[in-house]
Amino acid sequence: MTEMMRAIEIQEPGGPSVLQACQRPVPSPGHGQVVLKVAYAGVNRPDALQRAGKYAPPPTASDLPGLEASGEVVAIGAGVSELTVGDRVCALLPGGGYAEYVATPAAHCLPVPAGLSMKQAACLPETCFTVWSNVFTRGGLQAGERFLVHGGSSGIGTTAIQLASQLGARVFTTAGSDEKCAACLKLGAERAINYRDEDFVEVLKTEGGANLILDMVGGDYIPRNVRALADDGRMVHIAFLSGPKVELNFAQIMARRLTLTGSTLRPQSDLAKAQIAQDLREVVWPLIEAGKFAPVMDQTFALEEAAAAHARMESSAHIGKIVLEVGGEG
């Protein structure tokens, strides 16, 4: 293993152009950690927020962007017994995925599922961890319930549609074009609502209201989501693309016994993330290996094209996941 590696750093807060290639020292594994030789790194909205100066990494994390990757274990820290050098894994990362090598807790690594490529596996951790913890653990989605996920063609949306439908929920989603809506229907959504043409509140009210809503829009969607909920419904927030502040009448929350909650993944404890990983291994990985769920792929960019990858993601033209090729399949 060399001493230096290629990486992409954030030169200063700003647009995609502030992502620049650099040389960094190869990380060493701390206690409970492994170092991966990165094959592919997933590109996610939190990466763009970090780039813009709106989502600082935890104090102990790398300042390099990148919250998920696939790769081969090349070094093992003290206290690690579940992985060996040469294992092919995908991993949730505290940061640092836009690089040839990255260190991460061993407990946040999962095996590359049988039948999936390294490129596909790089798309699993961030979305699967987020969807599992917010839709099923925090949101408590049950079979037979009506579930509304906004942004159905995003990485989070395509994951949520597939997992919720496979686990027996009735899935409704919103998207911004007929093409995106068609893609959502193919993934298992019962109804895909083009928000430019239809009001999702009226559609859900006709169905009896949503038992659970997963929202990453915020802003003026928040009061509309409340109206779209069934009595005793739950709403989980994971992002605020239209802003976190809104005027809201809380009387209806009391009268209709609604639950509003939310979370971000990155600041949670290593132990909490390890528990999510264990849940995924037990419930979601068998679905993947049975061919019932797979990541939806959009485009692949070279590591040095990270700025172009961010520009595509922020254009919202993509359907599914965008990845960076770092070391490739080898």
Question: What is the per-residue pLDDT across 271-328, written as a single tens digit (0 to 9) for each?
Answer: 999 999 999 999 999 999 999 999 999 999 999 999 999 999 999 899 999 999 999 8
Query: Residue range 220-238: average pLDDT?
Result: 97
Out of 39-43, 120-124, 170-174, 247-251, least confident range: 247-251
**What is the spatial distance between Cα 16 and Cα 94, in angstroms, rounded to a whole number?**
21
Confidence (pLDDT) at 188: 97
Instruction: Dig out the tokens for 40 from the structure.
Output: 């592919």
Confidence (pLDDT) at 269: 94
Nearest CA among 56, 50, 52 for reference residue 13 = 52
Q: Is 198 helix (H, G, I), strand (E, B) or coil?
A: coil
Query: Residue range 252-263: average pLDDT?
Result: 97
**What is the spatial distance between Cα 300 and Cα 309, in angstroms, rounded to a whole number?**
8
Share of the chain above pLDDT 90, in %: 96
Q: Is the pLDDT of residue 234 over 50?
A: yes
Instruction: Dig out the tokens for 314 from the structure.
Output: 């922020």
Sheet arrangement for strand 229-237:
191-194, 170-175, 146-149, 210-215, 229-237, 259-262
DSSP code for 58: P
Nearest CA among 135, 39, 28 for reference residue 87 = 39
pTM: 0.95
For the stretch 133-136, contacts whose Cβ atoms lie closer than 8 Å and that sit 24 or more positions apart, written own/partner, are 133/263, 133/265, 133/276, 134/214, 134/236, 134/238, 134/262, 134/263, 135/160, 135/163, 135/164, 135/212, 135/214, 135/236, 136/163, 136/167, 136/279
For 141, other C-beta atoms within 10 Å of its C-beta total 26
Residue 172: strand pairing partners: 148, 191
Contact 309, 301 (CB under 8 A): yes
